[in-house]
Amino acid sequence: MHPTTLPQFCTLRLAIVSGQVSVVIPARNDAAGLPQAVRTSRDQAGGHVAEVFICVGPSTDNTHEVAQRLAADFDSVHVIANPDGGISAGLNAGLEAATTPVLVRVDARCSLPPDYVAHALETMATTGAANVGAVQVPVGTAPMQISIARAMKHVAGSGAAAYRRGAEQSEVDTAFLGVYDVDVLRSLTGWDVTFARNEDAELNQRLRAAGHRVVLDPRLRVDYEPRTTLRGLARQYFDYGWWRRRMIAKHRVWRVRQLVAPIIVFGLSFSCVLAAAVTPWFLVVPAAYVTMLGGFGVVLGEEPTFGDRLRVPFALATMHCSWGTGFLVSAIRGIRRPKRLPPG
């Protein structure tokens, strides 16, 4: 074990013995999914959850009323106002209120499996990790949402992201959600409130830079409901690309895979300009890209329908082009924050 992790290891062992963890759920326009997130957080095997904090941002639905009803129904559930509305600010409010050694970060649109916390605490104790993260499992109900979920699980959509494809326990750059050592989080002042997206990846970068470990536990599999429309998906992935470039600018750390989508956008745009100005033969580049996407639609697993084979290429193209455009626009404009803060 790394010598700097020994105090952390002892703290986490104490957490396992005492069975005390704090769940923090940032919520904004999440009235529909919030009750399920709270219920599955409370009903964890082993009774490890001592308190649940719902950090409610300004919402256009009745998220605040739903949160208040949940707090009235369960003594362990508490509501914290998050006037900033950002995910990072909400998480930091929960971190400040937490009274246990371990913080479990939960999304308001997620459902935790019943042994989620027990497995995470076990992994923290055996590895000395400051954060144990989960595997994101995209699922859908409506036809387009199902196709978007398939695209997110496809290698062409997830790339080398371990938290989308994790099959074995490993040390990673980042992971989905997270079960954190509270003392370590507080030593790093929690999440960066200037990040509207990629806040977990940015925090995990600082954790690792400080000598701590981020470990993916494949037993922690959490369903995630993706956007239901291509328009919503485009807005989400534009923001992902924008804030990933912001993270690279802050930490000066990047991976080759993060340049794939910007290269696709630049290549498609430049080839179209050359086709108009020089020769139509340059259209072979976008034609090849479209053919590749069509091929991905054909080789989908999990018994896709004919509709899936048609919709998934559109979802993949939306993800690539929106992420790449967000990255490039962010690079051109610098690191100014977008005027629009995403609603979820």
Instruction: Say what the pTM is.
Output: 0.83
Angle, CA of 136, 245 and 185, to the nearest 5°: 60
pLDDT of 14? 55
Cβ-contact 119, 207 below 8 angstroms:
no
* 48-57 residue pLDDT tens: 999 999 999 9
* 77-134 residue pLDDT tens: 999 999 988 999 999 999 999 999 999 999 998 889 999 999 999 999 999 999 999 9
* 17-46 residue pLDDT tens: 456 899 999 999 999 889 999 999 999 988
Helix (H) or strand (E) holding 145: helix 143-153
Altogether, the residues listed in the chain come to a count of: 344
Residue 299 scores a pLDDT above 80:
no
Mean of the per-residue pLDDT values of the chain: 86
Tell me which architecture the domain covering 3-227 has in CATH: Alpha-Beta Complex (3.90)
Domain with CATH 3.90.550.10 in the chain: 3-227
pLDDT of 304? 67
Work out the average pLDDT over 63-73.
94
Q: How many CB atoms within 10 Å of residue 127?
A: 19
